A and B are shown apart, each in its own frame.
Chain A
């Protein structure tokens, strides 16, 4: 057997002991993984030693790729997808033969592809390490990688990309509406404002009733897919597929070490984990911090080529190109997923329908009791992930994904075009896009704990980005309303409009409604009377009073699932918290025009819980 031979080679070279070999073989019998990868993961050999041993075994010369030894023009002739799939990079063309570096045993497909791309050249295939291959790809296909990660979705389907914020018809409609509004305010201000007030009030009523209804439905559903401990125990390690974990990390030097420790604690065979840490070129600190944490051999470092926009989804798209797992999950650098989450997600995929493309784990905060903001954030997340998303799932409505802990079938994710790097809530956008393509998103009973923002400025930056992303998503999927209804169905389209479109609108309108109410309470002016005929006044009051009370109420019972009863009273402070949302919304609205895909970076590692939790 090949494996025996690899072991013998390594034994003969004195690189491993017989006991180490026996341990690796025992592991191999359990998980079915390749021996070389097992020895690497177990730390018995280095990548260089393993590659040299494999070169011996495959009777090929070993090669170390130096950057100046690669003829970029030659390499670029070889298609990127073939390079990624075959893990081989042509580095030189001598005229008679083409020198190829490979990290895998050369097979027929490699030979056939080389014959097509470099006709008349004899292939001279040499073995190198995986890292050398990744570095060579980054060097030779930099432009292609950048293009694919940035414009992949746009070139695939412009209508689904937020690269264009407004389509021409949208912009024309918006412009005409603005001008008509201005003309109306000039000629008949009261009637115009009344005309404006009616649809806005009715829409706010619909949004409020919708969210309440979905929350109530969600309250009756623990989670859509519940995985029991028995099911987890029954999982055979050999059956487990390779799972890619993408971790986009930018300016996260303070927390990257914690994340690596959390990932190491995952209850999943390390040899079946393909962990890709994605760094930006202008962030050597985080890369250095990651290296200092000395992660296992199943962790790959990948530096994302620079290029605008410098967003998390762009980094994720780069990671997706290199991902080798059958399934894929995204974690943020400050995340602490529950150890059994990957297995639960895997079982959820297996139990779910074929069209289940993504499984979302719940998010919550480990530093929930740090200050007012973290408490309110926790309340909000508890309602969102424990009530609203399960409710949407139960009602078969589109689910906007959370920013992290979304588990995908890698092939489906590639089919959907990956993330939209121009959308600053690429997660929500992807969830809606999946629904538009007939896929479903499920919710699994596992939680990832994150760090809640404790500083107002940081919170506002993060929240304005989310709301701007919702605006982008609403604009993207409303470009073709008829198509939206046809593809997703009327009910889903209405759900999308009320949730994605309604959320920013509610926050934008909230301060206006409160302001008018305060104005009336203080001055008792009758100037507002024409704007609120009795029937509309009752609806507005219902929205303001009952809507707020209802939202507070559902927030109150949101904490019960998490047993954070001490937060119940904080629900009453929600109106103040929503005013912060409104501030963020106006900032988001401005940025939608001025810096549509600017990624407002959220700083992590500010919590005093960080060290303790780590």
Chain B
């Protein structure tokens, strides 16, 4: 059933008339400039008139309509994979625990946690406890044959849509030191969290993006305006950042030509560019309020670029704030705390590990961590015990020292060769606690890693030009150029931005520009061969030949063939990530992006050139700095066959017909032998 927002319609009709009159006087004023720093006025009629005036070609002046759909969502259940635990949870040793933060949408309540388990074969009977803070919510027996356990979650306390719980295993054993080598309790990512209740209808913007949503869809016309496309890209980065690691997907969909936007289910959200009204949640009668109309780039920037944009503003209006994404000052250090890590206390009897994943993009553009200053306190070692601190960067041991005092403040150089786009820093304590140290209940070693531990930064180019330079090269802001600016290219840019955003906590802030002259900073470009040539991309011509180190032709695309390419390169000191395709068919471009991102997202993208023809699968290579050469064949004189192709085929056809006619009396209409 389609129910337009009656009230909203009436209001908009009135303002449309006023806006039209204003337009006649002022003319069309572009609002594509930097967002103003002044406070956003309350959504008065005058303000709305102003917003209307910002409507650009490609924007519909008709207000968005929402078609209420019956909500088919029944009892909600999420898997650990859905909420960001893609590999599940692994508990190591005899005593270990892991914290899982459950997202709880408004109106819902977690009721049960059903774990699918893989216990260590032949391990002694153990227990698995569910706790929250100091409270023990439930304890279950864990045998080596146990494959499933269920925990009630009714008593779990929820704080602002999140419920952190801890699962803690306890395996009795005589040798706690050896236990980490033997015991692994694996909680599968298919374990489920069940919820009861019914998702509350969304009233305001603040609660629009619930702790967990399945899908966010941005509705765009085929040729969106600059503003609409900009907002769609902002939203792509926002969704990837807000639901980082989760299974939430972001999609660009076609704006229905005549019909209304179908209202998504309670666990989905839809966005639509609606410059003809205020930024607000569209909630028709009986609807769920899962559609948000964004009215201006300023609102979008506030919503999608600030760390807690939606939470900063009370429904239904905005409290304005300035959007600042980078002040140009050089940062020389980043603490673990500033990277989102809390103080961490770890304990154990033999090997104790704290892992810190970080991306180069977390530090900014042309900045790399050159050293790590570890600040930690640990318990004293017994007189007959000893211990070692070991630091591993991406599984490479980069530092080792004995433990002597209880205070650690050590600066460890980070070798550039060990750094990658996405990194893992392991702080390991290897201890021997001496007599009685390996008995359960005996003394344990405890260490607290302080959040003032710091990555010391240096302004150096991080990696050779390649896909690895992204998204670091895009920090703090970058330009996006689409040629032509259509929904297909917005979708590709949004996909790329979302994938890169998933690798870093640093917000990616895209600035959509009209042409190359407007480009500032690094560039994400999506276009055709014309754009590739304008950017002087390594692969830019219609036809080219790729030679490997030995000079052997590894691949060749004829000038008449269609292909799509994703390439990373540097021109005039600017990092450029270019997605382009030749000829009319853009599908060869969509495919290499999708195939490169599958299944690990941007984490799995390497090299500097991803190529795909119309039929062949995507091939990803590291062409630059590896001796590969790209030769354009566009200007080459065509081969004899190519030059005379049509004539050759016509000749072949004539010859074929002649042969068919020649053989006809010999093999079909043969005459009887008169002498026979």
Question: A residues engaging B (CB < 8 A)?
Answer: 146-147, 150-151, 163-168, 171, 175, 178-179, 182-183, 185-186, 190-191, 194, 307-308, 523-527, 529-530, 533-534, 592-594, 596
Q: Which residues of A contact B1 (CB under 8 A)?
A: none
C-alpha gap A194/B663 in the complex (Å): 29
Q: A165-B668, A175-B660, A526-B555 are in contact. List 15 more A-B contacts (CB 8 A).
A: A150-B676, A151-B672, A164-B667, A164-B669, A167-B668, A171-B667, A185-B649, A308-B675, A308-B676, A523-B552, A525-B556, A533-B615, A533-B617, A534-B617, A596-B666
C-alpha gap A171/B555 in the complex (Å): 40
Q: Which residues of B contact A175 (CB under 8 A)?
A: 660
B63 in contact (CB, < 8 A): no
Q: Which residues of B contact A168 (CB under 8 A)?
A: 668-669
Taking the closest CB of chain A, its distance from the CB of B43, in whole angstroms, is 55
Q: Which residues of B contact A308 (CB under 8 A)?
A: 673, 675-676
B670 in contact (CB, < 8 A): yes
What does the 1/0 interface line of B394-415 toward A look like (CB < 8 Å)? 0000000000000000000000
Could you tell me if A307 and B673 are in contact, using CB atoms closer than 8 angstroms?
A: yes
Contact of B553 among A165, A179, A186, A525 (CB under 8 A): A525
Given contacts A179-B653, A182-B649, contact A526 B616 (CB under 8 A): yes
Q: Which residues of A contact B617 (CB under 8 A)?
A: 529, 533-534
- Identify whether the interface residues of A are mostly helix, strand, loop, or mixed: helix
Q: Which residues of A contact B664 (CB under 8 A)?
A: 171
Q: Which residues of B contact A178 (CB under 8 A)?
A: 656, 660
Could you tell me if B673 and A150 are in contact, using CB atoms closer than 8 angstroms?
A: yes
Given contacts A182-B656, A307-B676, contact A194 B615 (CB under 8 A): yes
Query: 8 tightest A-B contacts by CB?
Result: A165-B667, A526-B555, A530-B615, A186-B649, A529-B616, A307-B676, A171-B668, A175-B660
What does the 1/0 interface line of B636-654 toward A look like (CB < 8 Å)? 0000000001100100110
Q: How large is the interface on B (under 10, 10 to 19, 20 to 34, 35 or more residues)?
A: 20 to 34
C-alpha gap A534/B618 in the complex (Å): 12
**Cβ-closest chain A residue relative to B615:** A530
Could you tell me if B556 and A596 are in contact, using CB atoms closer than 8 angstroms?
A: no
B182 in contact (CB, < 8 A): no
Q: Which residues of A contact B649 (CB under 8 A)?
A: 182, 185-186
Contact of A524 among B552, B669, B673, B675 (CB under 8 A): B552
Q: Which residues of B contact A166 (CB under 8 A)?
A: 667-668
Question: B residues engaging A (CB < 8 A)?
Answer: 552-556, 613-617, 619, 645-646, 649, 652-653, 656-657, 660, 663-664, 666-670, 672-673, 675-676
Taking the closest CB of chain B, its distance from the CB of A407, in whole angstroms, is 29
C-alpha gap A566/B462 in the complex (Å): 67
Could you tell me if A163 and B663 are in contact, using CB atoms closer than 8 angstroms?
A: no
**Cβ-closest chain A residue relative to B548:** A524
C-alpha gap A171/B614 in the complex (Å): 35
Interface CB pairs A-B, < 8 A, 11:
A164-B668, A164-B669, A165-B666, A171-B668, A183-B653, A186-B649, A307-B673, A529-B616, A529-B617, A530-B615, A592-B667
Q: Which residues of A contact B552 (CB under 8 A)?
A: 523-524
C-alpha gap A182/B552 in the complex (Å): 31
C-alpha gap A182/B615 in the complex (Å): 20
Could you tell me if A523 and B553 are in contact, using CB atoms closer than 8 angstroms?
A: yes
Taking the closest CB of chain A, its distance from the CB of B422, in whole angstroms, is 28
C-alpha gap A194/B660 in the complex (Å): 25
C-alpha gap A183/B615 in the complex (Å): 20
Given contacts A168-B668, A593-B667, contact A182 B652 (CB under 8 A): yes
Taking the closest CB of chain B, its distance from the CB of A597, in whole angstroms, is 10
C-alpha gap A186/B672 in the complex (Å): 40
Q: Which residues of A contact B672 (CB under 8 A)?
A: 151
Could you tell me if B615 and A593 are in contact, using CB atoms closer than 8 angstroms?
A: no
Could you tell me if B553 and A307 are in contact, using CB atoms closer than 8 angstroms?
A: no
C-alpha gap A171/B672 in the complex (Å): 19
Q: Which residues of B contact A525 (CB under 8 A)?
A: 553-554, 556
**Cβ-closest chain A residue relative to B546:** A526
Taking the closest CB of chain B, its distance from the CB of A472, in whole angstroms, is 10
C-alpha gap A594/B659 in the complex (Å): 11
Given contacts A146-B676, A308-B675, contact A191 B670 (CB under 8 A): no
**Cβ-closest chain A residue relative to B663:** A593
C-alpha gap A12/B227 in the complex (Å): 131
C-alpha gap A523/B555 in the complex (Å): 11
Q: Which residues of B contact A186 (CB under 8 A)?
A: 645-646, 649
C-alpha gap A185/B646 in the complex (Å): 11
**Cβ-closest chain A residue relative to B649:** A186
Could you tell me if B613 and A530 are in contact, using CB atoms closer than 8 angstroms?
A: yes
Taking the closest CB of chain B, its distance from the CB of A94, in whole angstroms, is 33
Could you tell me if B656 and A151 are in contact, using CB atoms closer than 8 angstroms?
A: no
C-alpha gap A530/B649 in the complex (Å): 22
Taking the closest CB of chain A, its distance from the CB of B323, in whole angstroms, is 47
Q: Which residues of A contact B554 (CB under 8 A)?
A: 524-526
C-alpha gap A190/B554 in the complex (Å): 18
Q: Which residues of A contact B663 (CB under 8 A)?
A: 593
Taking the closest CB of chain B, its distance from the CB of A521, in whole angstroms, is 12
Could you tell me if B615 and A191 are in contact, using CB atoms closer than 8 angstroms?
A: yes
Could you tell me if B675 and A163 are in contact, using CB atoms closer than 8 angstroms?
A: no
Q: Which residues of A contact B673 (CB under 8 A)?
A: 150, 307-308
Given contacts A175-B660, A191-B615, A307-B676, contact A596 B555 (CB under 8 A): no
Taking the closest CB of chain A, its distance from the CB of B429, in whole angstroms, is 47
Q: Which residues of A contact B653 (CB under 8 A)?
A: 179, 182-183
Could you tell me if A147 and B676 are in contact, using CB atoms closer than 8 angstroms?
A: yes
**Cβ-closest chain B residue relative to A595:** B666
Q: Which residues of B contact A171 (CB under 8 A)?
A: 660, 664, 667-668
Contact of A151 among B660, B666, B676 (CB under 8 A): B676
**Cβ-closest chain A residue relative to B616:** A529
C-alpha gap A185/B649 in the complex (Å): 9
C-alpha gap A534/B673 in the complex (Å): 54
Q: Which residues of A contact B615 (CB under 8 A)?
A: 190-191, 194, 530, 533
**Cβ-closest chain B residue relative to A523:** B552
C-alpha gap A190/B613 in the complex (Å): 11
**Cβ-closest chain B residue relative to A527:** B556
**Cβ-closest chain A residue relative to B659:** A593
C-alpha gap A165/B670 in the complex (Å): 9
C-alpha gap A530/B669 in the complex (Å): 41
Q: Which residues of B contact A596 (CB under 8 A)?
A: 666-667
Taking the closest CB of chain A, its distance from the CB of B246, in whole angstroms, is 31
Could you tell me if A307 and B675 are in contact, using CB atoms closer than 8 angstroms?
A: yes
Q: Which residues of B contact A191 (CB under 8 A)?
A: 615
C-alpha gap A527/B619 in the complex (Å): 13
Q: Which residues of A contact B669 (CB under 8 A)?
A: 164, 168
Taking the closest CB of chain A, its distance from the CB of B591, in whole angstroms, is 13
Interface centre among B553, B555, B669, B676 (most CB of A within 10 A): B676
**Cβ-closest chain A residue relative to B655:** A182
Given contacts A150-B676, A526-B554, contact A179 B656 (CB under 8 A): yes
Could you tell me if A163 and B670 are in contact, using CB atoms closer than 8 angstroms?
A: yes
Taking the closest CB of chain B, its distance from the CB of A315, in whole angstroms, is 14
Q: Which residues of B contact A151 (CB under 8 A)?
A: 672, 676
C-alpha gap A179/B658 in the complex (Å): 12
C-alpha gap A179/B652 in the complex (Å): 10
**Cβ-closest chain B residue relative to A149:** B676
**Cβ-closest chain B residue relative to A143:** B676
Q: Which residues of A contact B645 (CB under 8 A)?
A: 186
Q: Which residues of B contact A523 (CB under 8 A)?
A: 552-553
**Cβ-closest chain A residue relative to B560:** A189
Could you tell me if A164 and B670 are in contact, using CB atoms closer than 8 angstroms?
A: yes
Q: Which residues of A contact B670 (CB under 8 A)?
A: 163-165
C-alpha gap A252/B128 in the complex (Å): 93
C-alpha gap A222/B667 in the complex (Å): 42
**Cβ-closest chain A residue relative to B664:** A171
C-alpha gap A298/B560 in the complex (Å): 77
Could you tell me if A593 and B666 are in contact, using CB atoms closer than 8 angstroms?
A: yes
Q: Which residues of A contact B666 (CB under 8 A)?
A: 165, 593-594, 596
Taking the closest CB of chain B, its distance from the CB of A60, in whole angstroms, is 37
Taking the closest CB of chain A, its distance from the CB of B585, in whole angstroms, is 13
Taking the closest CB of chain B, its distance from the CB of A441, in whole angstroms, is 29
Q: Which residues of A contact B555 (CB under 8 A)?
A: 526-527
